[in-house]
Amino acid sequence: MKSPIPDYLAGVLEKVRPIERGAPAGYIDTLARADTSKLAVAIAMVDGNLYSAGDDRVEFSIQSISKAFVYALAIEDSGLERVLEKIGVEPSGDAFNELSLEKGTNRPMNPMINAGAITAHSLVVGPDATAEQRTDRILKALSRLAGRELHVDEEVYESELKDGDRNMGIGHMLKAAGIIKCNPQEVVRGYIRQCSINVNVRDLAMMAATLCNAGVHPVTGESIIPQRSVRQVLSVMTTCGMYDAAGDWVSNVGIPAKSGVAGGIIGALPGQVGLAAFSPKLDERGNSVRGVAICEKMSSDMGLHMMEASQIARATVRTSVATIVAGECEPHNRNCQREVVIFSLRGAVRFAGSERLSRAIQREVGDPDPADPGSGAHADACAIVLSFRDVYSLSAVAQKVIGEVVRRLLLEDRSVVIVDPSHVFPKEVKGDKDAQHPVIVQSEGEARDHIGGRGCSTLQKTDSW
Ligand code: GLU
């Protein structure tokens, strides 16, 4: 069978191809001469699988998309506190190259407009770094994110530098305001070099997927951006990534994103998928017209809007009951003609899943509640089994909530057996006394043997028992 996904992507390109609106960036010579027929899309999954269509190997300069990643490097090299002292996180509503600073603090409004991005560039490596050290660090980091060696497009660099008066003006403004301490011309030259790094949509989708994958490169497994910085970068991309179209973008597309004046766009949906689109003609706000249309279509077709409440936490817990007849060999629960209650969880369990589990346990094995017929039905179960067989991760808060539920069950002298072949359950959980600890086993069979002793049999079975 051929995967339907590349065909779908090719179909998306054909849908947006007739859109003729917009013009390539006019203020940089080389970009103004771009071949506007080029059109490409790519998506990268968090396990590294990548799909693309159209002109997916055509290179273009990364431009402002670099700002998101250089912001992450600035945080890593100078620390979040210092970065926040120097650059705000508020959407500006201004053009990307506005000569503006935040009233009161004198900081650039955010790291996605040029003033903030030039400041972020100056914070890479450290205050005494040379221009070469900074650009070298950035080029290497972007190459690791793309998974291949990237290069600066010297023609774009020269052409942008030649007409770079506005950015030079921003550099001098930052120096006068005390935001940057180093030579403004050198910082701006470095920033323009960072913007002139060439990429294709496949590189960008993989870079975006690294953000989606908590900063770990989906293919190499290398941890490139610390998780705390990823959160900061995605937050700023959400509110400021699409220049002053951020509100329209968040409501229509709903994916943290960043665009660049060469016509590239990335979108990074945390935990799911990285997107990239390319088409050189821009709208009046500087975003690729067809690129935006591609992202809108994919978000709506694939249900990618981050505010989409389609995943209902209810599905996470399944409750079932089995009756075990004890075998002769060392049964832990001789009176096991009573039931065993099994709570099975599934998938990536976060706070909502742990709350569902806690509620389900309370309802089944707690005291009956007159207002809730059926509650307390298994109050005298001889054992409570939590099966994490189909769970592949428990978030920190889910570990805390479920750990506390287990501790409380142990304090009530309940027998708790945990099926945890993937080792997601925190080992340190126990009750007050030494004897009060959950029994952790690898499979349902082991859990059964523990409860009823080897040779036990199950009278009433559920599918996994
Ligand atoms: N190098 C471009 C500039 O500073 C980047 C702008 C952009 O992509 O928005 O003008």
11: left (phi over 0), alpha (psi -120 to 50) or beta: alpha
Pick from 377, 253, 398: nearest CA to 313: 398
Q: Which two tokens stand for residue 408?
A: 């409380």
| Ligand 1 center–CA 241 separation, angstroms | 12
For ligand 1, say whether the CB of 116 is within 6 Å of any of its atoms. no
Q: Which two tokens stand for residue 374?
A: 């059926």
- Containing 53, the helix (H) or strand (E) segment is strand 50-54
| Ligand 1 center–CA 40 separation, angstroms | 21
Q: Which amino acid is at 349?
A: V
> Please, where are the H alpha helices in 213-261?
227-240, 246-252
**d(C-alpha 285, C-alpha 260), whole Å:** 11
Query: What local confidence, expressed as pLDDT, does residue 463 receive?
Result: 54
Q: Which amino acid is at 58?
A: V
What's the helix, strand, coil split of the chain in %, to 5? 40, 20, 40
Pick from 427, 120, 458: nearest CA to 258: 120
Please report where in the chains the tokens 């998938």 appear, as a residue. 347
Helices 65-78, 201-212: axis angle to 10 degrees equals 40
| Ligand 1 center–CA 274 separation, angstroms | 22
| Ligand 1 center–CA 192 separation, angstroms | 8
Strand pairing class (416-419; 339-349):
unpaired
- Distance of alpha carbon 82 from the chain centroid: 24
Q: List 223's β-bridge partners, or say none.
A: 216
For ligand 1, say whether the CB of 244 is within 6 Å of any of its atoms. no
For ligand 1, say whether the CB of 225 is within 6 Å of any of its atoms. no
Q: Which amino acid is at 218?
A: P
Three-state DSSP at 333 gives coil
| Ligand 1 center–CA 196 separation, angstroms | 9
> Please, where are the H alpha helices in 3-110?
4-16, 29-32, 65-78, 80-86
**d(C-alpha 384, C-alpha 407), whole Å:** 13
Q: Who contacts 98 (Cβ-Cβ below 8 Å, separation ≥6)?
A: 92, 113, 114, 115
| Ligand 1 center–CA 114 separation, angstroms | 7
Q: Which atom of ligand 1 is nearest to the CA of 97?
A: 10
| Sign of the torsion angle spanned by Cα atoms 213, 217, 223, 225 | negative
**d(C-alpha 347, C-alpha 246), whole Å:** 32
Query: What local confidence, expressed as pLDDT, does residue 325 receive?
Result: 72
- Phi then psi for residue 314, to 5 deg, are -55, -35
- Best residue among 27, 63, 198, 278 to mutate for probing ligand 1, ranked by most atoms within 8 Å of CB: 63
For ligand 1, say whether the CB of 196 is within 6 Å of any of its atoms. no
For ligand 1, say whether the CB of 112 is within 6 Å of any of its atoms. no
For ligand 1, say whether the CB of 160 is within 6 Å of any of its atoms. yes
Residue closest by Cα to atom 10 of ligand 1? 97
**d(C-alpha 419, C-alpha 211), whole Å:** 32
Q: List 198's β-bridge partners, or say none.
A: 61
If you count DSSP H runs as helices and E runs as strands, how many of each does the chain have, helices first? 16, 13
Beta-strand ranges (E) seen in 173-236 are: 198-199
- Distance of alpha carbon 333 from the chain centroid: 45
Three-state DSSP at 148 gives coil
For ligand 1, say whether the CB of 96 is within 6 Å of any of its atoms. yes
Query: What local confidence, expressed as pLDDT, does residue 27 receive?
Result: 87
pTM of the predicted model as reported, rounded to 2 decimal places: 0.82
For ligand 1, say whether the CB of 381 is within 6 Å of any of its atoms. no
| Ligand 1 center–CA 397 separation, angstroms | 40
Q: List 329's β-bridge partners, or say none.
A: 454
Q: Which atom of ligand 1 is nearest to the CA of 196?
A: 1
Strand pairing class (339-349; 383-394):
parallel
Pick from 215, 312, 223: nearest CA to 268: 215
- How many CB atoms are located within 10 Å of the residue 268 CB? 30
Query: What local confidence, expressed as pLDDT, does residue 331 receive?
Result: 56
For ligand 1, say whether the CB of 286 is within 6 Å of any of its atoms. yes
Q: Which atom of ligand 1 is nearest to the CA of 260?
A: 8
| Ligand 1 center–CA 9 separation, angstroms | 28
Please report where in the chains the tokens 């975006």 appear, as a residue. 208
Query: What local confidence, expressed as pLDDT, does residue 334 receive?
Result: 57
pLDDT 10s digit of each residue in the chain, 465 long?
A: 778 899 999 999 999 999 999 999 988 889 999 999 999 999 999 999 999 999 999 999 999 999 999 999 999 999 999 999 999 999 887 778 888 888 888 899 999 999 999 999 999 998 788 888 999 999 999 999 999 999 999 999 999 999 899 999 999 999 999 999 999 999 999 999 999 999 999 999 999 999 999 999 999 999 999 999 999 999 999 999 998 788 889 999 999 999 999 999 999 999 999 999 999 999 998 999 999 999 999 999 998 999 886 655 555 788 888 887 766 665 555 556 668 899 999 988 888 888 889 989 999 999 888 999 889 988 888 899 999 999 988 988 999 999 999 999 999 989 999 999 999 998 888 777 766 789 999 998 888 888 877 767 776 655 555
